[in-house]
């Protein structure tokens, strides 16, 4: 039997491999076209806002003590004694120890800049953050804490933030309302345009729809306000809007 030349065998083998590769690639493309791309070409995107109104049930208060003295050790000791007294008072108002935390502690020198860099004393600053729950039912504890903290040595407040202990349920409710509104809007648009609305392709949330926390009037959300001993402040929680902005993509036929 006559043997084929080596060069011919190699050439035929290369052609066979190329043919098989092309067949596999063509089959893969066919499968991808048939099954890989299920999203319809014609879609409509509709955005809608869902809004839930609710009374805040938690106040977050940031209280501080600022002490001045001739030595770093003295001001640190003064501040620690006052802060410990304030924390003990707050716990006596029914606030759980897990809801009281130190958020800042600093001791630094004070200078007389008219005399160059001469140190004239020291200042200590310590702040604590307190979560007061149940303010939707009563703000009595919040008022007592604010006035009592001042009576026990607090001389600075950095803000009273009214919010929700569990905002996830409210936001989920707002999302559901937004999606329902998007469906109604899509149906109206489809009817007006004379097209038929299909299934929902995707749903996404627009983070720009997030509502900002609310700070009680008189305390602000930025620079601290020096406190003096006074009657209990009247804090009204009012109501807040929990907002969700949803984008819904529909198939159209």
pLDDT at 79: 93
Q: b/e string for 3-29 if b means 16 or more Cβ within 10 A?
A: eeeeeeeeeeeeeeeeeeeeeeeeeee
pLDDT at 158: 83
Residue 63 lies in a domain: yes
Whether 161 and 83 share a structural domain? yes
Expressed as residue numbers, the domain containing 226 is 56-165+214-238
Whether 105 and 220 share a structural domain? yes
Whether 202 and 81 share a structural domain? no
CATH at 70: 3.30.70.2970
Give the pair of three-digit tokens for residue 122: 């020291």
Model pTM?
0.65
Whether 68 and 101 share a structural domain? yes
Contact 252, 195 (CB under 8 A): yes
pLDDT, averaged per 10 consecutive residues of the chain (253 residues), comes to 55 57 56 52 92 93 93 93 94 94 92 82 94 92 91 88 90 95 95 92 82 47 46 74 94 91
Residue 33 lies in a domain: no
pLDDT at 224: 46
Residue 82 lies in a domain: yes
Helices 140-151 and 72-92 pack at an angle, to 10 degrees, of 150
pLDDT at 233: 65
| DSSP 8-state symbol, 33 | I
CATH at 49: 3.30.110.170
């Amino acid at each position: 039997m006559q043997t084929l030349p080596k060069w011919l065998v190699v050439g035929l083998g290369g052609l066979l491999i190329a043919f098989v590769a092309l067949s596999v690639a063509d089959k893969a493309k066919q499968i991808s076209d048939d099954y890989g791309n299920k999203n319809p070409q014609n879609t409509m995107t509709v955005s809608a806002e869902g809004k839930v109104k609710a009374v805040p049930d938690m106040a977050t208060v940031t209280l501080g003590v600022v002490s001045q003295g001739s030595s770093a050790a003295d001001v640190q000791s003064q501040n620690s004694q006052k802060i410990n007294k304030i924390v003990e008072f707050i716990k006596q108002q029914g606030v759980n120890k897990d809801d009281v935390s130190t958020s800042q502690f600093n001791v630094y020198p004070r200078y007389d800049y008219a005399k160059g860099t001469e140190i004239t004393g020291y200042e200590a600053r310590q702040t604590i953050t307190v979560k007061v729950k149940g303010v939707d039912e009563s703000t009595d504890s919040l008022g007592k804490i604010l006035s009592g903290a001042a009576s026990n040595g607090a001389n600075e407040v950095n803000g009273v933030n009214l919010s929700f202990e569990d905002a996830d349920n409210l936001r989920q409710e707002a999302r559901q309302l937004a999606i329902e509104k998007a469906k109604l809007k899509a149906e109206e648009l489809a009817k007006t345009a004379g097209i038929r609305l299909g299934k929902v392709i995707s749903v996404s949330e627009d983070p720009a729809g997030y509502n900002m926390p609310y700070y009680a009037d008189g305390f602000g959300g930025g620079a601290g306000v020096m406190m003096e001993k006074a009657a209990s402040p009247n804090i009204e929680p009012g109501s807040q809007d929990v907002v969700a902005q949803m984008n819904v993509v529909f198939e159209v036929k």
